[in-house]
Amino acid sequence: MSSTRIRELIVTPIAFGDPPLLNSNGVHEPLALRVILQLVLEDGTVGLGESTGGAVRLERLHAAAKAVVGMDVFDTTAVTAAIDAALLPTVPSSHERGWTTSAVEVACLDAQGKLLGRPVSDLLGGRVRDAVPFAAYLFYKWAEHPALDGRAAIGDDWGEALDPAGIVEQARLMHERYGFRSFKLKGGVFPPDEEIAAMRALAEAFPGQPLRLDPNVAWTVETSTYVARELDGVLEYLEDPTRSIEGMAEVAKGSPVPLATNMCVVAWEHLKPAVEQNAVQVLLTDHHYWGGLRRTRELAAVCEAFGLALSMHSNSHLGISLAAMTHVAAAIPNLDHSCDTHYPWNSADDVIVPGVLELRDGEVRVPTGPGLGVELDHDRLERLHRRYVDSGMRGRDDTGYMRRFQPEYELKLPRW
């Protein structure tokens, strides 16, 4: 039994390349931050996890690393409780603590799977699908990160997308390279009529394929209702047009299109008011903050009980997260929509050994090897950790970065 005890949790912050993607907060910086976890058991088995980066979350993961030493890797309820107790005095928000407990739970499940010789999807009740569908995540974007402070410009092979034609071209590339059959546009960047035009152009270019628009709360209730009506028959759902459960409930009253969220329902205590007010019809799960893979599976059951449809949220991430997302999505019977993923934007810098995870025909086949089924590339990890150290970057600041090029830019939500 002692061999299943946790000897150490190694926490490694990394930085990887990210293109200049635009959103309602500004523009993505050339580097995105992430943290890689290696949970080492007494017998040498290692479980992997991946979490969002930044100094604050990193410090909490270090606190978690102290709390879990000596615990049994199969006792994930106790592991989560120990981390929760360690963080509670300084982190009152359950949503915020969820970011830490989730990353460690994934590493525990990876280690459990390796000990048992079974894929994580089996530990979640078994897979109901062999491949998980993902949507192309389209962004308005600049052609390159402009030269700055002596640094040369950084280009990419996606090109510029600042109007409907550019977005359709990006969607074509996404389809050509990965076979995506559904498309999500990150909006909240240009006046709503321009984004409506982009969605109509996508509908024309990809007839019958599911489309979504997500302006990350850039609009008022009135503007949201207007856009929803204009895009009736075009969108499968409209994601987070406006802020708060109350705001979304107002929009829902006049919207012919279902509303989705990964912003106003992000913790268990948000579910009751959201359901009571019929604020959202689609929930985007995210195991990175809902408490891990088992809790996400439980969340799916709650959604089933209340008639909420399910999709999946994503942020800039690498392959350990993609593997975890794929396993849990494979084990959720009531997954109604393809999942989001930023992976095509960041996969060139992945920390896992290539070959297992592949986006093909718009799907990722569920890994069948033990645990998450992916292996860490230690040289890559070291390189990306060096990049983190050398960059001096300790948090994400889309607005500050935008201001370097457009000093008059102001963060304003709602903007329209």
Instruction: State the residues that interact with ligand GKR by CB under 6 A.
Output: 21, 23, 186, 214, 216, 262, 313-316
Q: Shortest distance, CB of residue 396 to ligand GKR, whole angstroms?
A: 8
Do the Cβ atoms of 241 and 221 come closer than 8 Å?
no
Q: Shortest distance, CB of residue 280 to Mg ion, whole angstroms?
A: 12
Closest to 46 measured CA to CA, from 101, 9, 72: 9
Active site residue 313: yes
Closest to 219 measured CA to CA, from 176, 255, 178: 255
Residues 250-269 that bind Mg ion (CB under 5 A): 262
Stretch that binds Mg ion, among 199-207, 232-240, 248-256, 381-389 (CB under 5 A): 232-240
Q: Shortest distance, CB of residue 186 to Mg ion, whole angstroms?
A: 8
84 contact choice in ligand GKR, Mg ion, none (CB below 5 to 8 Å, kind-dependent): none
Stretch that binds Mg ion, among 3-11, 63-71, 236-244, 318-326 (CB under 5 A): 236-244
Angle between helices 94-116 and 55-68 (to 10 degrees): 50
Active site residue 378: no
> Measured between alpha carbons, how far is 242 from 261 in angstroms, rounded to an integer?
10
Binding mask 78-97 toward Mg ion (x if CB under 5 A, else -) reads --------------------
Strands 309-312 and 282-285: parallel
The residues, any chain, with a CB within 8 Å of residue 340's CB and separated by 6 or more, are 134, 135, 137, 184, 284, 311, 312, 313, 314
186 contact choice in Mg ion, ligand GKR, none (CB below 5 to 8 Å, kind-dependent): ligand GKR
Catalytic residue among 28, 145, 184, 313: 313
315 contact choice in ligand GKR, Mg ion, none (CB below 5 to 8 Å, kind-dependent): ligand GKR
CA distances 84 to 54, 72, 76, 98, 286, Å, are: 19, 16, 12, 8, 19
For residues 213 and 393, which CB has a smaller minimum distance to Mg ion in the complex?
A: 213
Q: Shortest distance, CB of residue 336 to ligand GKR, whole angstroms?
A: 17
Question: Residue 214 interacts with Mg ion (CB under 5 A)?
Answer: yes
For residues 79 and 264, which CB has a smaller minimum distance to ligand GKR in the complex?
A: 264
Closest to 114 measured CA to CA, from 4, 9, 36: 4
Question: Residue 285 interacts with Mg ion (CB under 5 A)?
Answer: no
For residues 388 and 416, which CB has a smaller minimum distance to Mg ion in the complex?
A: 416
For residues 262 and 341, which CB has a smaller minimum distance to Mg ion in the complex?
A: 262
Tokens representing 389 are: 């150290």
Stretch that binds Mg ion, among 21-29, 200-208, 213-221, 315-323 (CB under 5 A): 213-221
Binding-site size, Mg ion (CB under 5 A): 3
For residues 57 and 127, which CB has a smaller minimum distance to ligand GKR in the complex?
A: 57
> Measured between alpha carbons, how far is 216 from 262 in angstroms, rounded to an integer?
9
For residues 47 and 362, which CB has a smaller minimum distance to ligand GKR in the complex?
A: 362
Q: Shortest distance, CB of residue 313 to ligand GKR, whole angstroms?
A: 5
Catalytic residue among 141, 184, 186, 317: 186
Tokens representing 70 are: 């000596």
The residues, any chain, with a CB within 8 Å of residue 79's CB and separated by 6 or more, are 6, 68, 71, 73, 101, 104, 105, 108
Q: Shortest distance, CB of residue 5 to ligand GKR, whole angstroms?
A: 36
Q: Shortest distance, CB of residue 315 to ligand GKR, whole angstroms?
A: 5
Stretch that binds Mg ion, among 38-46, 85-93, 175-183, 211-219 (CB under 5 A): 211-219
Question: Residue 18 interacts with Mg ion (CB under 5 A)?
Answer: no
Judged by the rule CB under 5 A, the positions of this chain that interact with Mg ion are 214, 239, 262
Catalytic residues: 186, 313
